[in-house]
Amino acid sequence: MNLSLSRPAKNRHCAVMTNANETKAKAGAIIVPVTLFEQNCTILWDAETKQAVVFDPGGDVPKILAAIEKTAVKVEKIWLTHGHIDHVGGAAELRDALKVPIVGPHQADKFLLDNVVTSGAQFGMSGVRNFAPDRWLAEGEQVQIGALTFDILHCPGHSPGSVVYYNKELQFAHVGDVLFNGSVGRTDLPGGSHATLISSIKDKLLPLGDDIGFICGHGAGSSFGQERLTNPFLTGEM
């Protein structure tokens, strides 16, 4: 969660999903900002089959459902990056509405999913529910939507159970709140650790390569190379 980041509450189409070596996009994505935290709920799909996932439905479920209908994709799964309220507040409601399974995050965030109602009350979010995902994710596992395969990287530090979804072919990652454009996830919440977070980024994400583009939980996306060179938390300036 990061209150300092905000953007106009308008859905954004993403260009990062086009592989430069291909003549046509293999995937599409749209970002639907949700909750008072302007969290980047992301609908991502296989361009060929229109099979889709919803990353981090933090709230404003009617707005997410409207975006799904407008995009004309078939949502088959809900994928969670971590357990914070702005990422999971609408997950149980969306699962009921779409009759699809919730996948992720890592089980180390179970304490957050068990306390969604309590967290929601702190921010005036009503109608949220505690829930368990249909599948926990662990380091090295893979998840699929259509012909797209994502590797799971367990990247604790912002929360203990944060995971990053990485697609090698598309040179793309969804990093949740682990890394931001010019910043990193906050580490003052329960289970957070700044040293662990920086290790997750430097040891697991940056080695994937400078060309990897990413969507993050708040604000504009970036690439690992851009952040490696300019992000003050990675260059040693902070």
The footprint of Zn ion (CB under 5 A) covers: 1, 84, 86, 177, 217
Q: Return the C-alpha torsion angle 11, 70, 87, 225, nearest 10.
A: -50
Closest to Zn ion by CB, 59 or 213 = 59
How near is the Cβ of 168 to Zn ion at its closest, in Å?
25
Distance separating alpha carbons of residues 57 and 61, to the nearest angstrom: 7
DSSP 201: I
Cβ atoms < 10 Å from Cβ of 38: 19
**Count of positions (residues) in the chain:** 238
DSSP state of 103: E
Closest CB 192 distance from Zn ion, rounded Å: 9
- C-beta of 46 vs 227, nearer to Zn ion: 227
Residue 217 or 219: which CB sits closer to Zn ion?
217
Nearer to Zn ion, 40 or 51 (CB): 40
CB of 43 to Zn ion, least distance (A): 17
Cβ-based nearer residue to Zn ion, 28 or 191 = 191
Q: How far is the CB of 46 from Zn ion (least distance, A)?
A: 26
Please, are residues 50 and 72 in contact by the beta-carbon 8 Å criterion? yes
Q: What is d(CA 38, CA 173) in angstroms, rounded to the nearest whole number?
A: 20
Kindly state the smallest distance separating residue 32's Cβ from Zn ion, in Å: 14
